């Protein structure tokens, strides 16, 4: 087995790391779906589901945004369910979660970063949050109605692949550092 895969499996064998990674993944996924409008308020209460349009699953409504195939209503929340949007949000959430866990481990073992101070390993978490926020930050500005949002609206679709690339690169570099120093000892 490859050393990086071994390190990921070792990280995922620790319940605390799985809990942190899962929590970050779920929170990121829900935030992303809320900001893109797939999850919104305005439900009538109760529980209701309907999935009448599976044929639209691959229809694009914009760059990296796909048409919903159904509706899930749970209390005051309404989720216009798009499987591809949900998979994309969860994948990015998983990458953010793995980056946070790898950064957390590097922070707990600052010698692995090659930096002297005990809090300097925390710098490894910054790229994960910046890359994860690359697609959500402009959406937050748009959602809040801030004037700068108009300038960012044109580049927002490009930030999804940039964020994915940055998250994969950040995870790879963090895992390389862990592998170089002997992994999760």
Contact (Cβ atoms closer than 8 angstroms) between residue 149 and residue 137: no
The reported pLDDT for the residue numbered 113 is 47
The reported pLDDT for the residue numbered 146 is 62
pLDDT digits (tens, 9 = 90+) for 107-155: 776 554 454 444 444 555 566 555 556 566 666 666 666 666 666 666 6
In angstroms, what CA-CA distances link 43 with 35, 49, 66, 74, 104? 17, 12, 22, 7, 38
Q: Across the 185 residues of the chain, what is the mean pLDDT of every consecutive 10-residue run?
A: 80 91 94 88 85 92 88 91 94 90 77 48 57 61 63 70 84 83 61
The reported pLDDT for the residue numbered 1 is 53
CB-count burial class (<10 Å; 0-12, 13-18, 19+) for 130: middle
The reported pLDDT for the residue numbered 81 is 96
């Amino acid at each position: 087995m490859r050393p990086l895969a071994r390190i990921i499996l070792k990280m995922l064998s620790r319940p605390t790391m799985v809990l942190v990674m899962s929590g970050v993944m779920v929170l990121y996924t829900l935030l992303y779906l809320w900001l893109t409008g797939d999850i919104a308020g305005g439900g009538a209460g109760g529980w209701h589901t309907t999935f009448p349009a599976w044929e639209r699953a691959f229809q694009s409504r914009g760059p990296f945004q796909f048409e919903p195939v159904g509706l899930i209503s749970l209390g005051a929340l309404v989720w216009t369910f798009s499987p591809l949007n949900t998979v994309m949000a969860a994948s990015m959430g998983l990458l953010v979660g793995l980056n946070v866990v790898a950064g957390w481990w590097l922070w707990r073992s600052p010698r692995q970063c090659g930096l002297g101070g005990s809090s300097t390993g925390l710098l490894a978490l910054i790229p994960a949050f910046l890359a994860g926020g690359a697609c959500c930050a402009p959406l937050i500005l748009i959602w809040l109605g801030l004037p700068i949002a108009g300038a960012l609206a044109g580049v927002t679709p490009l930030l999804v692949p940039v964020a994915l690339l940055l998250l994969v690169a950040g995870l790879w570099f963090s895992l390389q550092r862990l592998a170089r120093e002997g992994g999760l000892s």
